[in-house]
């Protein structure tokens, strides 16, 4: 809970609009930087990655469902 309080300015929870799913402070900045570096290392934040719709296959019939296993 001390980490949560560190991200929330000493509070357990902040219900104000726009602040619920974001943190602030040094620890939040550290997590953000690590995430950005991981995305850069893995090539996840490049603009040229378009979806390839040619790989999509429509099922034979509308009611057909593929097996899970």
Q: pLDDT per residue over 25-48, tens digit each?
A: 788 889 899 999 999 898 887 776
Domain boundary assignment for the chain: 2-44
pLDDT band for 60, please (50, 70, 90 cuts): low
pLDDT at 33: 94
Q: What angle do CA 64, 67, 69 make, to 5 degrees?
A: 175
Nearest CA among 25, 31, 20 for reference residue 10? 25
Q: What is the mean pLDDT of the chain?
A: 78
pLDDT band at 61 (very low <50, low <70, confident <90, very high): low
Q: How confident is the model at residue 63 (pLDDT cuts 50, 70, 90)?
A: low
Spell 47-59 as b/e; 16+ CB within 10 A means b.
Answer: eeeeeeeeeeeee
């Amino acid at each position: 809970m001390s980490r949560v309080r560190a991200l929330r300015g000493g509070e357990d929870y902040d219900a104000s609009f726009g602040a619920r799913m974001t943190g602030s402070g040094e620890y939040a900045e550290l997590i953000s930087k690590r995430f950005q570096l991981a995305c850069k290392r893995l090539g996840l934040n490049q603009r040229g990655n378009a979806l390839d719709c040619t790989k999509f296959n429509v099922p034979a019939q509308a009611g057909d469902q593929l097996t899970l296993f």
